[in-house]
Amino acid sequence: MIINKMIIQQIEDTHRILLPKKFKKYLLVNYGQEPFPYEYSEQDLYTNIEKDISAYKAGELEVTLKKPSLLWKEEREYLQGLYAEKCHEVHRLEEYIVKLEDILSKNGLNKSNIAMFERESY
């Protein structure tokens, strides 16, 4: 679930407050897209917004928005890190497969024997 202007209006009506334009824009930018690779549940969305409203009222929330180029750079760096992590995971799994194949060959089994065994067991 993502936020939109109607939800912001409902929040203002519920709390009987008028949120500043700068804060509304902050909400739309921060909650206007799902946090890849996850999705906000309705409860998560409203809980996060409630926390932001409380922090904003207390003067503990910076609502100055970053430039789009900086946001894209941060997203790119995050995705590059995620990609590197997954490549490392694939490498570890490939090493594990080699070890398993070595164990199989030491016990007189190989991939073709296992495939034949699997077909016979059905």
Domain ranges of the chain: 5-57, 68-121
Is pLDDT above 60 for 52? yes
Is pLDDT above 70 for 113? no
Q: What pLDDT is recorded for position 117?
A: 57
Work out the pLDDT band at 119, boundaries 50, 70, 90.
Answer: low
Q: What pLDDT is recorded for position 65?
A: 81
Work out the mean pLDDT of the chain and round it to a whole number: 87
Does pTM surpass 0.85?
Answer: no
- Residues 42, 53, 24, CA angle at the centre, nearest 5°? 80
